[in-house]
Amino acid sequence: MTKKVINARLITVLAALTLMMFSSGCQQDKINGLNAELAKTAEERDNLKSRINDITAAHEQLQQQYEKLVAEQKKFQEQITELTNSRDTVQKQLEKLTVVSDNMKGVISVLTESRDTAIDVAKKSQDQLKEIAAQLQTETKKVLDLQEQLKNVQDAFKEFQEKIKL
């Protein structure tokens, strides 16, 4: 019940009591009884006002708590939205990294294949160099042998010329 309703009822009760007292020519006992009832009604009114004040204070407190909860809910919703956006951004970056990773795997495969080919070419070249070195050594030996033979022939020719001159 609101304050207006309580005050209106009290006024009505007081008016009714006043009318009853004057119209019926009440006795002092009745007046005392009515005064006691009026005091009791005033006390009930005061108790009701106190309860209304307590309930109003509790309502205001609950309203403030509700508003705080609504504000916190809004903050949480904003954080959820922000986290969702961050998650989407990370997901897009992950997709890009996956594409880059796949491309890198392809590049690594090509490089590995090129490396293997280069290793094979290097081994073949090394084998060819060994063969050429062996041939060069053989040819160098032949040249040395031929130089030795040439020297022997030149020495023999000089001896022959000296014998002829004699």
Separation of alpha carbons 17 and 33, rounded Å: 11
Helix (H) or strand (E) segment spanning residue 141: helix 28-165
Q: pLDDT grade, residue 20 (50/70/90)? A: low
Helix %, strand %, coil % for the chain, to 5? 95, 0, 5
Backbone angles phi, psi at 2, to 5 degrees: -90, 170
Give the whole-number percent of the chain exceeding pLDDT 70. Answer: 85
Predicted confidence at residue 26, as pLDDT, reads 47
The CB density around residue 42, as the number of other CB atoms within 10 Å, is: 13
pLDDT single digits (tens) 77-123: 999 999 999 999 999 999 999 999 999 999 999 999 999 999 999 99
8: pLDDT confidence band, cut at 50, 70 and 90?
A: confident
